[in-house]
A = this chain, B = another copy of it.
Amino acid sequence: MAVALDNNGRHQVVIIGGGFGGLYTAKHLAKANVNVTLIDKRNFHLFQPLLYQVATGTLSPADISSPLRAVFSKSKNTQVLLGEVNDIDPKAQQVIMGDKVIPYDTLIVATGANHSYFGKDNWKDLAPGLKTVEDAIEMRRRIFSAFEAAEKETDLEKRRALLTFVIVGGGPTGVELAGAIAELAYKTLKEDFRNIDTSEAKILLLQGADRVLPHISPDLSEVAAASLQKLGVIIQTNTRVTNIENNIVTFKQGDEVTAIASKTILWAAGVQGSPMAKVLAERTGVECDRSGRVIVEPDLTIKGYRNIFVVGDLGNFSHQDGKPLPGVAPVAKQQGEYVARLIQKRLQGQTLPAFHYNHVGSLAMIGQNLAIVDLGFLKLTGFLAWVFWLIVHIYFLIEFDTKLLVVFQWAWNYITRNRRSRLITGREAYVEAKTNNITQVAN
């Protein structure tokens, strides 16, 4: 179909979500003869893979964020809308935001996924996850406040609970958090306190599967585990958390049940498609998997709706090797680019072969000079992997104008081992400072 240059005659593309999937779809449509509307609840795109570095005091939120309006400032065919989508009307081809409707010709849903608490949603406050800037600030507050509270605590048992950090989930986020907290406790903060020895801290990583980083090869996974243990992290695999209550986390390994007192329990487990999956299922009858992710067709559309695409973590794409693709940035980016190309092909009356994910490898940072790289044809560990991890992340931050900034902070952190972004901030921090006075003073 020929497309008029007149705005109103143009093909209307609406994208819900400004994560990797939505951002890359919009970027690859920036020069296309379509109108693009990108809707997000937040005014910035977040480079989520580095969020754990905000939570542990290395980077600031703005270092890993890009204001969406700035990204699309020069793309005059693209408008950014701040707000939340409540509903979709696939018959009328409309997206509903409060009392307003936005018509679309093609809709891309890219609202991502959250952690899953496996039905125990009350654990959310007790063991916060790491998906948003607010999550990271809150996690940072809890981690650094725990050391502060331990410094003031005279009761040995309470002090032990304050210096016990439990991380639930042994995927990349859990591994990276555990490694970063171990470095904090055993290196960075070692000289900073007068009453406690931060190296007495206990860092426990609980993993449901039989090994950490189950998405990489078993030998590398073993190296990762050994590296974490060398850093001081206690790893427990085949372990399921059965209860979290009164700062006590209870978990089960086989028949063995353990309960441990910990003031800082962090959640990095499970995948749960965002609520938009339910909306899509209700309105279109599309099927979702057990994790609430939308089952997509080989071309990333949903069954029966040629003009509705789902990209990124929200989708379950199982056409490649029977297993769903992992919820990682490269999948979302490649899917976004694919959909942008398909839309343009279709406008020319053509089409594209099914989406194919080009696996780029898996990386995980464990600590200073310690990482794991699995490219399939190449496996790296230790210092070399660490350098590779840095280069890859710097490369992917290229689209962010913060690349040099991040490099600089990493370099500084490497030299000084200081975590300069370890601020305890937020409304809670403020209230806490005002109410919780110190409980002990010693020299």
Q: In the complex, what residue of chain B is closest to A43 when comparing beta carbons?
A: B424
Q: What chain B residues lie within 8 Å of A98 (beta carbons)?
A: 436-439
- Docked pose: A429 CA to B192 CA in angstroms: 34
Determine if A336 is an interface residue (Cβ-Cβ < 8 Å): no
Closest chain B CB from A285 CB (angstroms): 26
Copies of this chain, count: 2
CB-based contact A434/B192 at 8 Å: no
Determine if A369 is an interface residue (Cβ-Cβ < 8 Å): no
Given A69-B193, A81-B441, A423-B65, A405 contacting B402 (CB threshold 8 A): no
Q: In the complex, what residue of chain B is closest to A192 when comparing beta carbons?
A: B69
Closest chain B CB from A113 CB (angstroms): 18
Closest chain B CB from A149 CB (angstroms): 9
Determine if A66 is an interface residue (Cβ-Cβ < 8 Å): yes
Closest chain B CB from A104 CB (angstroms): 11
CB-based contact A62/B426 at 8 Å: no
**Pick from B74, B79, B86: contact of A191, CB under 8 Å:** B74
CB-based contact B443/A35 at 8 Å: yes
CB-based contact A134/B426 at 8 Å: yes
CB-based contact A43/B82 at 8 Å: no
CB-based contact A62/B420 at 8 Å: yes
The residues in A between 86 and 112 inclusive whose CB is less than 8 angstroms from any CB of B are 86, 97-100, 102
CB-based contact A422/B67 at 8 Å: yes
Determine if A243 is an interface residue (Cβ-Cβ < 8 Å): no
Closest chain B CB from A268 CB (angstroms): 20
The residues in A between 412 and 443 inclusive whose CB is less than 8 angstroms from any CB of B are 412, 416, 418-427, 429-430, 433-434, 436-441, 443
CB-based contact A443/B62 at 8 Å: no
Q: In the complex, what residue of chain B is closest to A70 when comparing beta carbons?
A: B418
CB-based contact B82/A438 at 8 Å: yes
**Pick from B43, B84, B404: contact of A437, CB under 8 Å:** B84
The residues in A between 7 and 35 inclusive whose CB is less than 8 angstroms from any CB of B are 7-8, 35
The residues in A between 123 and 174 inclusive whose CB is less than 8 angstroms from any CB of B are 132-134, 137, 144, 148, 151-152
Q: What chain B residues lie within 8 Å of A60 (beta carbons)?
A: 60-63, 421
CB-based contact A436/B83 at 8 Å: yes
**Pick from B44, B102, B405, B437: contact of A405, CB under 8 Å:** B405
Q: What chain B residues lie within 8 Å of A132 (beta carbons)?
A: 430
Determine if A73 is an interface residue (Cβ-Cβ < 8 Å): yes
Given A60-B63, A83-B438, A98-B439, A134 contacting B408 (CB threshold 8 A): no
Determine if A42 is an interface residue (Cβ-Cβ < 8 Å): yes
Closest chain B CB from A68 CB (angstroms): 9
Q: What chain B residues lie within 8 Å of A424 (beta carbons)?
A: 42-44
Q: In the complex, what residue of chain B is closest to A416 when comparing beta carbons?
A: B401
Q: In the complex, what residue of chain B is closest to A98 when comparing beta carbons?
A: B437
- Docked pose: A214 CA to B374 CA in angstroms: 63
Q: What chain B residues lie within 8 Å of A42 (beta carbons)?
A: 423-424, 429, 433
The residues in A between 370 and 427 inclusive whose CB is less than 8 angstroms from any CB of B are 401-402, 404-405, 408-409, 412, 416, 418-427
Report, nearest first, the 4 A-B pairs whose CB atoms are least far apart.
Answer: A98-B437, A60-B60, A62-B421, A69-B192
